[in-house]
Structure 1
Amino acid sequence: MPTSLKPLLGVLEGRRLDVPPIWLMRQAGRYLPEYRALRAEKGGFLALATDPEAAAEVTLQPIRRFGFDGAILFSDILMVPWALGQDLSFGVGEGPRLTPPLVDHALGALERAPERLEPVYATVARVARALPTETTFLGFAGSPWTVATYMVNGSGSKDQGETRAFAYRDEAAFAEIVGAILELTVEYLARQITAGVEAVQLFDSWAGSLSPEQFERWVIAPNAEIVTRLRERCPGVPIIGFPKGAGAKLAAYAAGVAPDAIGLDETVDPVWADGALPAGMPVQGNLDPLALLTGGETLDRGVDRVLAAFPERPHLFNLGHGIGQHTPIANVERLIARVRRDVRG
């Protein structure tokens, strides 16, 4: 349909709107009672994410409730290592685990299982058929560095120290892991687009843990390769880069990766970003999720500051990271009303 009828897609294509479109990272998740009920019924995250009917329902839940301008596919960045042959599990009250960890196992020993991604494509097709015509459908994948931190360590960590040390100690082995992630990520995103998503986001959640040299090697270079190759396969589909924690390296990321839009985490001063990033590049963000959790005047001030930071730049309103599971629904409703009322008068 014409992008003029899809506000979010229009902004990603470089159009500034007086009413900034809004979606929230992790908008389909544990803060919603309807999500918690369905997850309990399915018995766990992986069972939910690999059931196309259920995953489509979760993707659509926040659209029905809040009328966001964008729907984000319900899935997980660790679907790629699962398809590369690691076992994936989500323990109750624990983060995800991948086995065997590649810090002491060879990538070549894994038996690849690309068929594990088929339910994701089926979910995309279901959602694409069901979305309101004005809602933009976003797919996503984890960026190679962030995905590699889980593959090497076997789980999340506070500073990604194990993976950073591994990348220094055995650069060739780590490059092989990153290369495998890169190859499958291009295919994975292209298949999402073929199935019905209209834009994609690359999540580099742990980009902030790297030195400048490693940032160039393991964040900028592989993301740039993904962007280049995906544009060749799927021309015209916007790509959002989200290098969380990049800070002052955001300008280098924007220049080196050249995404269509760049996501800002909550630690970035939006006024600084407006001056530092390429003119006309759309930005996404960057309200602190804790301001949303707190609500009230704290939330209002945070919203107003973000809105005021981009007087001429195309802007998607979002959080600086994912919505917290204890966030009151009333605060989300207040956020949406504030964003839309402030610019409409």
Structure 2
Amino acid sequence: MAANKPLLRVLNGEALSTTPVWLMRQAGRYLTEYKQTRLKARSFLDLCYNPKLAAEVTLQPIRRFHFDAAIIFSDILVVPDAFGQKVDFESGEGPRLQPIIGADDLKALRETIDLDHLSPVFEAIQLVKQALPAKTALIGFCGAPWTVASYMIAGRGTPDQAPARLFAYRNPDIFAALIERLIEGSVVYLSRQIEAGADCIQIFDSWAGALAPAEFERWALDPVRRIIAALRIRHPRTKIIAFPRGAGLALAGYAAQTGTDALGLDTSVDPASAAAVIPSNVVLQGNLDPLALIAGGEPLGEAVAKIQAGFRGRPHIFNLGHGILPETPLDNVEALLALLRPEA
């Protein structure tokens, strides 16, 4: 199977002459067809839980751009939703959750994740798997415990996740219990995604960079290490990509200690510097600035050339350093693919 899918070949350690490419948030608001499909669901969460619509949205960027991977359309906050926390998405304002402010709020949640509640995600994976071209990999995902917990504590996204950081300092035992629950839930959730047909998985730690060094090791690095170790036992052949956005100088240690197969790099990371310090057995993914993709033209070409030069000779998956932005011109995505696939 891996022999037919460029992304899986790279995850298995091959450095290909044509770098496989997919983009974070590639199924989303920059696509006209996504906007039309979105109107068919009452809310964003309803869209995530409608297997046919979620599968359709997942496949839209593959049909248009022929990326080397599809990532199942869902959201990291389906996990707290499946633990019984109230989760809503307000148009124009992002997610809203009933915040955890103390031990009683944690006790009110389920002890274990409700996989039946998440069955639409697994069904969507099965539908996408059946429809994907033979060379296109399917990525499953979850949010890392720290990032998911930060939303559960604050009840929303915040600029620096200060509510969760402060909660962890003041209530370390309660926060540790929440992280423990999320570790266990993430393992079984990702495992079911793999069983449903995901070829590989990505763990998004979008707020890893908000933590001080000691807290980073405790709340970001170690939980992901434990998830990866548990998945290795259950699914030893499945490759794992970890994306600790903002980890900076901690990236090399994070890669070595978590045991991840691949490391997603954010926009702030210099490709050549990362390639020099991150263990050579770790595949690197990234890391075009989403604004360079919006700009297009010469800035896009220069940014792509620098990334290609920095990772040359090393197994590499081309991606953005963060999610694609809604105002991204479709022509610029086409231009990016022409740069990456000059012989296509």
TM-score for the superposition, normalised by structure 1: 0.97
Match of 1:203 in 2: 204
CA contact (8 A) 1:84 1:114 kept: no
Task: Note the alpha carbon deviations across 1:176-214, whole angstroms, 9 max, x for none.
Answer: 000111101000000000000000000000000001100
- For the residue of structure 2 that corresponds to 1:185, the secondary structure is helix
Shift of 1:122: 0.6
Q: Which has the larger displacement, 108-117 or 150-159?
A: 108-117
Match of 1:163 in 2: 164
CA contact (8 A) 1:182 1:222 kept: yes
Spell out the pairing of 1:230-241 with structure 2 (5 A cutoff). Answer: 230-241=231-242
Spell out the pairing of 1:311-326 with structure 2 (5 A cutoff). Answer: 311-326=312-327
Shift of 1:113: 4.0
CA contact (8 A) 1:281 1:313 kept: no
Q: Note if 1:22 corresponds to 2:14.
A: no
In the alignment of these two chains, the number of paired residues is: 341
Task: Note the alpha carbon deviations across 1:142-170, whole angstroms, 9 max, x for none.
Answer: 00000000001111000111110110111
CA contact (8 A) 2:168 2:175 kept: yes
- For the residue of structure 2 that corresponds to 1:116, the secondary structure is coil
Q: Note if 1:108 corresponds to 2:100.
A: no
CA contact (8 A) 1:280 1:313 kept: no
2:147 and 2:249 mapped to 1: Cα distance?
Answer: 19
Shift of 1:4: 2.1
Shift of 1:41: 2.0
Amino acid at match of 1:22: V
Task: Note the alpha carbon deviations across 1:2-57, whole angstroms, 9 max, x for none.
Answer: x2210000001111101000000000000000000110121321111100000000
Q: Which runs of 5+ in 2 are unaligned?
A: none
CA contact (8 A) 2:200 2:239 kept: yes
CA contact (8 A) 1:87 1:98 kept: yes
Match of 1:138 in 2: 139
Amino acid at match of 1:242: F
Amino acid at match of 1:179: E
Match of 1:69 in 2: 68
CA contact (8 A) 1:55 1:74 kept: yes
Q: Note if 1:82 corresponds to 2:81.
A: yes
Amino acid at match of 2:10: V
Spell out the pairing of 1:243-282 with structure 2 (5 A cutoff). Answer: 243-282=244-283
1:110 and 1:43 mapped to 2: Cα distance?
Answer: 26
1:11 and 1:28 mapped to 2: Cα distance?
Answer: 22
CA contact (8 A) 1:45 1:90 kept: yes
CA contact (8 A) 1:14 1:282 kept: yes
CA contact (8 A) 2:115 2:189 kept: no
Amino acid at match of 2:248: G
Task: Note the alpha carbon deviations across 1:46-73, whole angstroms, 9 max, x for none.
Answer: 1111000000000000000000000001
CA contact (8 A) 1:264 1:283 kept: yes
1:41 and 1:117 mapped to 2: Cα distance?
Answer: 20
Match of 2:127 in 1: 126
- For the residue of structure 1 that corresponds to 2:139, the secondary structure is strand
CA contact (8 A) 1:146 1:207 kept: yes
2:275 and 2:17 mapped to 1: Cα distance?
Answer: 17
Q: Note if 1:93 corresponds to 2:55.
A: no
Match of 1:9 in 2: 8
Amino acid at match of 1:213: A
1:147 and 1:118 mapped to 2: Cα distance?
Answer: 20
Amino acid at match of 1:93: G
- For the residue of structure 1 that corresponds to 2:39, the secondary structure is helix
Shift of 1:249: 0.6
- CA-based RMSD of the aligned residues comes to 1.1
2:284 and 2:138 mapped to 1: Cα distance?
Answer: 18
- For the residue of structure 2 that corresponds to 1:148, the secondary structure is helix
1:324 and 1:191 mapped to 2: Cα distance?
Answer: 30
User: How high is the sequence identity, in percent, across the aligned residues?
Assistant: 52
- For the residue of structure 2 that corresponds to 1:59, the secondary structure is helix
- For the residue of structure 2 that corresponds to 1:42, the secondary structure is coil
Spell out the pairing of 1:186-197 with structure 2 (5 A cutoff). Answer: 186-197=187-198
- For the residue of structure 2 that corresponds to 1:41, the secondary structure is coil
2:40 and 2:52 mapped to 1: Cα distance?
Answer: 13
1:103 and 1:21 mapped to 2: Cα distance?
Answer: 44
Q: Which runs of 5+ in 1 are unaligned?
A: none
2:4 and 2:199 mapped to 1: Cα distance?
Answer: 13
2:310 and 2:46 mapped to 1: Cα distance?
Answer: 41
2:108 and 2:43 mapped to 1: Cα distance?
Answer: 28
Match of 1:290 in 2: 291
TM-score for the superposition, normalised by structure 2: 0.97
1:289 and 1:276 mapped to 2: Cα distance?
Answer: 24
